[in-house]
Amino acid sequence: MSQISPDQIDNTQVDADVEWEIAPGLTPYDDAVARMEDRANAIAAGTAKELVWLVEHPALYTAGTSARREDLIDPDRFPVFDTRRGGQYTYHGPGQRVVYVMLDLNRRGRDVRAFVQKLETWVIATLDQFNIHGEIRDGRVGVWVPRPEKPALPDGSMREDKIAAIGIRLRKWVSFHGISINVDPDLGHFDGIVPCGIQGHGVTSLVDLGLPVTMEDLDVALRVTFDQTFGA
Answer yes or no: is 89 a known binding residue: yes
> Hey, what amino acid is at 35?
R
Task: List CB contacts of 39: < 8 A, sequence separation 6 or more.
Answer: 48, 51, 53, 102, 176
Kindly name the residue from 51, 183, 196, 213 that is annotated as catalytic.
196
Closest CA to 211 of 157, 151, 134: 134
Answer yes or no: is 198 a known binding residue: no
Answer yes or no: is 25 a known binding residue: no
Answer yes or no: is 85 a known binding residue: yes
Sheet holding 60-63, edge to edge: 80-82, 60-63, 89-92
Q: CA–CA separation, 166 vs 164, rounded Å?
A: 7
Q: Is 196 an annotated catalytic residue?
A: yes
Question: Residue 104 has what DSSP assignment?
Answer: B
Answer yes or no: is 167 a known binding residue: yes
Q: CA–CA separation, 170 vs 172, rounded Å?
A: 6
Q: At what angle do helices 215-230 and 112-128 cross, to 10 degrees?
A: 130
Contacts made by residues 65-74, CB under 8 angstroms, sequence distance 24+: 66/197, 67/197, 68/197, 71/193, 71/194, 71/197, 72/192, 72/193, 73/191, 73/192, 73/193, 73/194, 74/191, 74/192, 74/193
Answer yes or no: is 92 a known binding residue: yes
Q: Residues annotated in the binding site, as ranges?
A: 85-92, 165-167, 178-180
Known catalytic residues? Answer: 196
Q: Residues annotated in the binding site for substrate, as ranges?
A: 85-92, 165-167, 178-180
